[in-house]
Amino acid sequence: MFECFSMESRTVEAYIYTHTHPWSRIAKWSDSVHQIRNFSATKLNKGAREHPPTSRARGPREFGARVGVTPTHLGLLKGIMDSGNQLQSQGYAADITSIKEAKLRISPYIHETPVLTSKSLNFIARKQLYFKCECFQKGGAFKIRGASNAIFSLSNDQAAKGVVTHSRSIFNIFCYSGNHAAAVSLAAKLRGIPAYIVIPENAPRCKIENVKRYGGQVIWSEPTFQSRENVAKKVQQETGAIMVHPFNDKYIISGQGTISLELLEQIPEIDTIVVPISGGGLISGVTLAAKAINPSIRILAAEPRGADDAAQSKAAGQIIRLPETKTIADGLCAFLGDLTWPVVRDLVDDIITVDDEAIIGAMRMCYEILKVAVEPSGAIGLAAVLSDQFQQSAAWKDSNNIGIILSGGNIDLGVLWKSFGK
């Protein structure tokens, strides 16, 4: 099962974590980029479930050095097995049990995404970085996890009437803000039910094409929040379709939390996870799962400085809604919901804010060094790790193995080149 690769400009060091043994065996080799692409392009994109480990037992010599059982491994295993942890009794929208159930529910429909590493980026950051590549996920972003969990949780009677959601009206040529709409369309298609996607008339063409590509039925609205809400309610009344909220929903949160289950199984030694934050569905799920597995793990949110409502909310102790937002990462412009705010307030350790210039720089590093194209909202985690705010914080000293979630890769390449040229 291909799960962890380290990619450099001239050579590729590939680490294969195979679960034929409880603690994994690791193989390492160097080869040309051309040769490695030949297998990674197919194995990586098809997803781990389509390539189950062979039943033939392989000896340690064949795989290289074997990973030993360490106190860290034992502690994490205990955390994974202890689903009755304290978080379950604190009334959050999801817990380790619902997240494990989500993993079982959605596994046939999503990719188990790989983890990439880079010696060059480790040198720049002065830390060991592990990139969880949700940009390789179905639909090009993590959103399919929550959407598929919500849609496959419906009863047959509910599902038969279809689902409805609406897409934000902010015009953004990178198209990130259409990831939820595309994910709902795809998940509904996988279940064989209708998906009604309310889209404003001024939406970018790429967003509309993504929805149609995955089988969603586009319903037009005026470019205002109230219009989208009204049209969505009208669709619900006429069809009986179920609303699938992009983040403020317990099934969405549980689905997004499956990222932590995968990441901490792939790289158990991670002590810090950096997560993009917007409405809070992703970071809530990631946090609830990760802290249940390893209570001492550090969760850091990464937020655009031009849309820093979460940072302001955490500082004020209450939800702050900004009158306007301005950032290239428009997928991170939503405000926290009543289900996500308690998790951010209580369990997220800190929020790092970065400007657009840093985000574009991180996108460029991902493309030029990691060889991965990510959208602005997906690159913000790397920007946060490289920021002065993080490197001058108390968390810096104790963060040695850092997981960074590359949340999506849906971008317009023409615009990408222009942004790099600035």
Cβ–Cβ under 8 Å, residues 164 and 235: yes
Mean pLDDT of the chain: 81
Residue 160 has pLDDT above 50, yes or no: yes
Task: Assign 408 to helix, strand or coil.
Answer: strand
Tell me how far apart the alpha carbons of residues 60 and 175 are, in angstroms, rounded to a whole number: 46
Please measure the distance between the N-terminal and C-terminal CA atoms of the chain and give it in whole angstroms: 40
pLDDT in tens, 47-75: 333 333 333 333 332 222 333 445 555 55
Catalytically annotated residues: 143, 177
Q: Is the pLDDT of residue 322 over 80?
A: yes
| Cα 324 to Cα 353: distance, rounded to the nearest angstrom | 16
Domain 143-243 in CATH 2.70.70.10? The answer is no
pLDDT at residue number 422: 57
pLDDT of amino acid 419? 65
pLDDT at residue 411, rounded to an integer = 81
pLDDT tens profile 353-384: 999 999 999 999 999 999 999 999 999 999 99
Which secondary-structure segment (H or E) carries 177? none
Within this chain, domains 72-142+249-420 and 143-243 share the same CATH topology: yes
User: Which overall architecture, per CATH, does domain 72-142+249-420 show?
Assistant: 3-Layer(aba) Sandwich (3.40)
Cα distances (Å, whole numbers) of residue 229 to 53, 208, 243, 305? 47, 18, 11, 28
Q: What is the DSSP letter of 141?
A: B
CA distance 381 to 261: 19
Neighbouring residues of 402: CB distance < 8 A, sequence distance ≥ 6: 125, 127, 128, 129, 130, 270, 271, 272, 273, 274, 385
The domain segmentation of the chain, as residue ranges, is: 4-68, 72-142+249-420, 143-243
Neighbouring C-alpha atoms within 13 Å toward the C-beta of 333 = 20
When mean pLDDT is compared across 66-80, 188-202, 253-267, the lowest value belongs to 66-80
Q: In this prediction, what percent of the chain has a pLDDT beyond 90?
A: 66
Residue 317 has pLDDT above 50, yes or no: yes
State how far the Cα of 314 lies from the Cα of 351, in Å rounded to an integer. 8
